Structure 1
Amino acid sequence: MAAMGQLVFDEYGKPIIILKDQDQQKRLTGIEALKSHILAARSVSSILCTSLGPKGLDKLMVNPDGDITVTNDGATILKMMDVEHQIAKLMVQLSQSQDDEIGDGTTGVVVLAGALLEKAEYLLDKGIHPIRVADGYELAAKKAIENLERIAEEFPVDANNLEPLILTAMTTLGSKIINRCHRQMAEIAVNAVMAVADMETRDVNFELIKVEGKVGGKLEDTMLVKGVVVDKDFSHPQMPKELKDVKMAILTCPFEPPKPKTKHKLEVSTVEEYNALYQYEQKQFTEMVDKVKAAGANLAICQWGFDDEANHLLLQKQLPAVRWVGGPEIELIAIATNGRIVPRFEELSPEKLGTCGKVRELSFGTTKDKMLVIEECPNTKAVTIFIRGGNKMIIEEAKRSIHDALCVVRNLVRNNKIVYGGGASEVSCALAVYEEADKISTLEQYAFRAFADALESIPMALAENSGLSPIYTLSDCKARQVAEKNPALGIDCNHNGTCDMKTQHVIETLHSKKQQILLATQLVKMILKIDDIRTPGESYSG
């Protein structure tokens, strides 16, 4: 406090901070503060702008430890950025909330918010009050949402015909690093979601989909396992590498003698006492193993470790075992095998055992790395996507890409309304908002036009990232949408020779697009109402 200034009290005993050099300090307020906020938000938005679309570029992020992440996922880029400005932090949270709710569109939502703020700055320069701009944006967003509802189409979600879903997943993966095996990854994502989806309640439980990765091999070696993959191996190298018709005991109790819950210490002073203790330990181990065998189990999966004595005994008794299996994996194994998690050996019984057709050990190349695959489970709803790749960086980005595709397919199962991507829906909404602006006689018409211009920034960025002339391509797209009354016309990012996104099968979920517009508008409205930033106890220098 002494370094910052002096603390004095008024006649009512309320503290007042007198800051050093207060007469020389500057604080941004009013329009100047708003412009500072807009600049910070636009800086964040411009970083992501080049990552938009199937031809978007990746960003290489280096954390303080020197670890490298290469990604074009908006939420990941912003999460890893060291952002200091308070308004820029709001942009990071915007992207994160889109990721949490939808799982896709994390780049587009930030680019749209940045464009809305950029257009708002022009209106502020014209002398329009920020509240009028914010209210106009909100009304324009409602009009855009109405237009999205009008142009949305029903999408066939049928467990017997997965082709439409695969094409949608391919749209999501088009901009990702894994688009080398584009269709294969899309099929894996769709099959994983459909395996765990409940088509009656239109719900998908993501807890049942596990994504594992292992360095080595190539992306094409990625596979979907109808079961569970565990990054462990059998506890003893001489245990069999493959088991069939498995009955497994899923244990959360360790293979070790029970520890007395007392503060008293046990002192061993003679050889006889030590031998008695050793015999007791051996007896306990033998009883534990016998209880597992008596229940009919031929595999023990344990959450905790066990020492070499117990491990050797398990081998002698011909009971293969796996140790140090994590809590989430234990739960997934129990779900997949219809087994019960047993906390004490005394509670083990035949009906609590999990069953599966096969447990096998996978080994990789020349390394000693091994993993266990639990297959042919009675509950086929538990699946694992097993990703291979040349290095850790590629595997992590593949996991993020697969997550986006899984989220999009899940959203379609929940709500099968879709709009067309490639900037087509944004252009259609922009035209609708422009049309509405001409009917408004109040000052809000300027905000409507600014909102429409901001919506066009998405197709502009797509065209620019694809090496096309942005202004010419956008003008042509708008003119054709008006002339042909076809809201599926967008930007031909992949140079397929047609702008019709329906023909190209470039599809986005209606829920995702609505969420992007609503979240971006809400954040911009909040930023336009902030005319000062104050930190308790210190002044704010411009």
Structure 2
Amino acid sequence: MTAFPGSIAFDEYGRPFIIIKDQEKQSRLTGTEAIKSHILAGKTLTKILRTSLGPKGLDKILVSPDGDITVTNDGATILKKMDVEHEIAKLMVQLSQSQDDEIGDGTTGVVVLAGALLEQAETLINKGIHPIRIADGFESAAQFAIGHLNSIAETFPFDQNDLEPLIKVAMTSLGSKIVSKCQRQMAEIAVNAVLAVADLEKRDVNFELIKIVEKVGGRLEDSTLVNGVVVDKDFSHPQMPKVLKDVKIAILTCPFEPPKPKTKHKLDVTSIEDYRELRKYEAEKFETMVQMVKDAGATLAICQWGFDDEANHLLLQRNLPAVRWVGGPEIELIAMATGGRIVPRFEELSSEKLGYAGIVRELTFGTTKDRMLVIEECANSKAVTVFIRGSNKMIIEEAKRSLHDAMCAVRNLICENSIVYGGGAAEISCAIAISNQADRISSLEQYAFRCFSEALEVIPLALAENSGLPPIKTLTDIKSKQVAENNSALGVDCMLQGTNDMKQQHVLETLHSKKQQIQLATQLVKMILKIDDIRSPADSEI
């Protein structure tokens, strides 16, 4: 029974309501104080992520309630696995997630930028400027920044015969990850996987055709890209052939077993003759099912459900290799890759519904004789599988996240081949342009523009700080060089290559990603500045 800090009364209709005691002693933050409380929550969350920004960013270790350990510096993953209570902090988590869903990269940077904007907004509130004026000023500054990004953007040279530029972009994305020791190999896997499923005419990439399969054991260097489908299953009988060529595949979602009596009916076996009749009926049904598959011309049966030993033995005798207990997503991917149709009933099976694969082989590896099935040279060669190996589950999970980020970076360049330079170069260029624009504004918006400019500088400051460089000196040097040389490609030399020119270091970011970061961060800050109260159901009078 729940205890309430009050008593229950009833109205004239007999409906209960609670009289809350000491209501006048309870406080609620409203107005400016509430906004400052929201800003504090956002800043606190940002401080956690700020140290993970950049190629030299630090990793976070996260322990789930079940004791599972995650080690990562991926902003979206850190926030997703954190136990966040404050409502504004939850909005920051959703901000990172939306950046991850839309772009797949820049999840840490967007939260750091939002936190910096909140910090600057607090300064303006303390000066007596109304939050709505600040929000509108930030919106205008964001639009100006996006316009400036369009002016400094360059076209990325993309040629299917020369993949080196794309590989370098993928390597940039992988530079801060655990997999950086085999950076080149993982970058090549990411580029080849994306190009295999890309429609270059429509500039579209279907990530559903890229399946990532992991297996604990081996080294990261053993990871590979398979032009087909890898299924974590083996042939249903150990004596079935391990390699099949020119395979016609029947993809079934019906089990190899006789029909069972419905729930309303009962089958009584009272004598040996009855039992023999039942066995004969089952054997005939098995024969009929196998014959239907053979008559359709199939040389391999892939079944979503299982079948018993009798059916398995019969399949072996009739020279029909089979795979059982294949999951729904794998069944769909096999159907897409092989050009086959998923068949729910044996009676509907025909030669037109069969899928085709050039080779189906059983892959054996590891000291425990682990087996997996590889379906290659499919009719629709667009489906590919990235097969990841690693010494433990933690490294494999981080490798999956890293590869996803790299593939998203390549996908973004194929969809829109406009780039700006990374290492904080684009942010510094925008900050200089917005600061100059603020000098031309006579209204109150000039304060918001200057604060937006200072917030953008937090990104290169954090990059320099995480790389062990003196942050303020590094930032001022780069700003003065950008102004003097009129070169928007100068950024923070995080990898200590000896040059601040990101064009030489080939540190690139897609224009779409950078614009999305600024837009999302500004929209969230604008929303937070307009929330002057949080009323939860527990606070309401009943």
TM-score (norm 2): 0.96
Letter in 2 for 1:408: A
- CA displacement, residues 161-185 of structure 1 (integer Å, 9 cap, x when unaligned): 2111111111111111111111111
1:335 — aligned with what?
Answer: 336
1:389 shift after superposition: 0.6
**Residues 10/349 of structure 1: CA separation in 2 closer, same or farther (3 Å cut):** closer
1:38 — aligned with what?
Answer: 39
2:444 is the alignment partner of 1:443: yes
2:481 — aligned with what?
Answer: 480
For structure 1, which segment, 324-333 or 145-154, has the greater mean C-alpha deviation from structure 2 after superposition? Answer: 324-333
1:11 shift after superposition: 9.7
1:234 — aligned with what?
Answer: 235
> Whole-Å Cα distance in 1 between the matches of residues 270 and 25 of structure 2?
78
> Whole-Å Cα distance in 2 between the matches of residues 80 and 30 of structure 1?
32
For structure 1, which segment, 373-382 or 257-266, has the greater mean C-alpha deviation from structure 2 after superposition? Answer: 257-266
1:92 — aligned with what?
Answer: 93
1:15 shift after superposition: 8.8
Letter in 2 for 1:212: V
Q: Are the aligned partners of 1:419 and 1:507 in contact in 2 as well (CA < 8 Å)? A: yes
2:449 is the alignment partner of 1:461: no
1:27 — aligned with what?
Answer: 28
2:380 is the alignment partner of 1:379: yes
2:63 — aligned with what?
Answer: 62
> Whole-Å Cα distance in 2 between the matches of residues 527 and 513 of structure 1?
21
- CA displacement, residues 147-198 of structure 1 (integer Å, 9 cap, x when unaligned): 1010011112222221111111111111111111111111111111111111
- CA displacement, residues 309-363 of structure 1 (integer Å, 9 cap, x when unaligned): 1111112222111011111211211222222222211222223221212111112
2:177 is the alignment partner of 1:179: no
Letter in 2 for 1:252: T
2:223 — aligned with what?
Answer: 222
- CA displacement, residues 475-510 of structure 1 (integer Å, 9 cap, x when unaligned): 111111101100010000111111111111111111
Letter in 1 for 2:447: Y
1:471 — aligned with what?
Answer: 472
> Whole-Å Cα distance in 2 between the matches of residues 232 and 107 of structure 1?
37
Give % identity. Answer: 75
1:516 — aligned with what?
Answer: 517
Q: Are the aligned partners of 1:255 and 1:285 in contact in 2 as well (CA < 8 Å)? A: yes
1:8 shift after superposition: 5.9
> Whole-Å Cα distance in 2 between the matches of residues 234 and 347 of structure 1?
24
2:396 — aligned with what?
Answer: 395
> Whole-Å Cα distance in 2 between the matches of residues 342 and 539 of structure 1?
55
> Whole-Å Cα distance in 2 between the matches of residues 97 and 13 of structure 1?
47
2:73 — aligned with what?
Answer: 72
**Residues 306/316 of structure 1: CA separation in 2 closer, same or farther (3 Å cut):** same
Question: What's the secondary structure of 2:301's corresponding residue?
Answer: strand
1:536 shift after superposition: 2.1
Question: What's the secondary structure of 2:419's corresponding residue?
Answer: strand
1:255 — aligned with what?
Answer: 256
1:419 shift after superposition: 0.6
> Whole-Å Cα distance in 2 between the matches of residues 181 and 121 of structure 1?
44
Question: What's the secondary structure of 1:315's corresponding residue?
Answer: helix
Letter in 1 for 2:534: I
Q: Are the aligned partners of 1:27 and 1:539 in contact in 2 as well (CA < 8 Å)? A: no
How many residues align? The count is 540
2:424 — aligned with what?
Answer: 423
Q: Are the aligned partners of 2:355 and 2:379 in contact in 1 as well (CA < 8 Å)? A: no
Q: Are the aligned partners of 2:482 and 2:490 in contact in 1 as well (CA < 8 Å)? A: yes
Question: What's the secondary structure of 1:184's corresponding residue?
Answer: helix
> Whole-Å Cα distance in 1 between the matches of residues 104 and 361 of structure 2?
33
> Whole-Å Cα distance in 2 between the matches of residues 120 and 450 of structure 1?
8
Letter in 1 for 2:473: Y
**Residues 16/514 of structure 1: CA separation in 2 closer, same or farther (3 Å cut):** farther
2:492 — aligned with what?
Answer: 491
> Whole-Å Cα distance in 2 between the matches of residues 509 and 16 of structure 1?
57
1:41 shift after superposition: 0.7
Q: Are the aligned partners of 2:261 and 2:267 in contact in 1 as well (CA < 8 Å)? A: no
Q: Please list, as runs of the form range in 1=range in 2, the aligned pairs for 1:179-328 lying within 5 A after superposition.
A: 179-261=180-262, 263-328=264-329
**Residues 15/144 of structure 1: CA separation in 2 closer, same or farther (3 Å cut):** farther
**Residues 133/162 of structure 1: CA separation in 2 closer, same or farther (3 Å cut):** same
Letter in 2 for 1:228: V
**Residues 259/69 of structure 1: CA separation in 2 closer, same or farther (3 Å cut):** same
- CA displacement, residues 345-398 of structure 1 (integer Å, 9 cap, x when unaligned): 122222322121211111221113211111122221110111111111111111
2:411 is the alignment partner of 1:404: no
> Whole-Å Cα distance in 2 between the matches of residues 521 and 192 of structure 1?
34
- CA displacement, residues 217-237 of structure 1 (integer Å, 9 cap, x when unaligned): 111111110000001111112
Q: Are the aligned partners of 1:419 and 1:508 in contact in 2 as well (CA < 8 Å)? A: yes
> Whole-Å Cα distance in 2 between the matches of residues 529 and 9 of structure 1?
38
> Whole-Å Cα distance in 1 between the matches of residues 464 and 227 of structure 2?
41
1:528 — aligned with what?
Answer: 529
1:358 — aligned with what?
Answer: 359
**Residues 359/427 of structure 1: CA separation in 2 closer, same or farther (3 Å cut):** same
1:444 shift after superposition: 1.5
**Residues 537/337 of structure 1: CA separation in 2 closer, same or farther (3 Å cut):** closer
Letter in 1 for 2:52: S
> Whole-Å Cα distance in 2 between the matches of residues 284 and 201 of structure 1?
49
Letter in 2 for 1:449: R
- CA displacement, residues 201-252 of structure 1 (integer Å, 9 cap, x when unaligned): 1111111111111111111111110000001111112222221221211111
Q: Are the aligned partners of 2:138 and 2:448 in contact in 1 as well (CA < 8 Å)? A: yes
Q: Please list, as runs of the form range in 1=range in 2, the aligned pairs for 1:74-153 lying within 5 A after superposition.
A: 74-153=75-154
Question: What's the secondary structure of 1:178's corresponding residue?
Answer: helix
Q: Are the aligned partners of 1:25 and 1:539 in contact in 2 as well (CA < 8 Å)? A: no
Question: What's the secondary structure of 1:502's corresponding residue?
Answer: helix
Q: Are the aligned partners of 1:4 and 1:538 in contact in 2 as well (CA < 8 Å)? A: no
Uncovered stretches (5+) of structure 2, i.e. residues with no partner: none
1:10 shift after superposition: 8.6
Letter in 2 for 1:274: Y
Letter in 2 for 1:200: E
Q: Are the aligned partners of 2:493 and 2:500 in contact in 1 as well (CA < 8 Å)? A: yes
Q: Are the aligned partners of 2:106 and 2:513 in contact in 1 as well (CA < 8 Å)? A: yes
> Whole-Å Cα distance in 1 between the matches of residues 32 and 16 of structure 2?
30
1:72 shift after superposition: 1.1
> Whole-Å Cα distance in 1 between the matches of residues 429 and 16 of structure 2?
57
1:415 shift after superposition: 1.0
1:296 shift after superposition: 2.0
2:170 — aligned with what?
Answer: 169
Question: What's the secondary structure of 1:224's corresponding residue?
Answer: strand
1:63 shift after superposition: 0.7
**Residues 515/12 of structure 1: CA separation in 2 closer, same or farther (3 Å cut):** farther
Q: Are the aligned partners of 1:17 and 1:537 in contact in 2 as well (CA < 8 Å)? A: no
> Whole-Å Cα distance in 2 between the matches of residues 50 and 265 of structure 1?
68
1:269 shift after superposition: 1.8
Letter in 1 for 2:536: T
**Residues 244/30 of structure 1: CA separation in 2 closer, same or farther (3 Å cut):** same
TM-score (norm 1): 0.96
Q: Are the aligned partners of 1:427 and 1:478 in contact in 2 as well (CA < 8 Å)? A: yes
> Whole-Å Cα distance in 2 between the matches of residues 372 and 64 of structure 1?
35
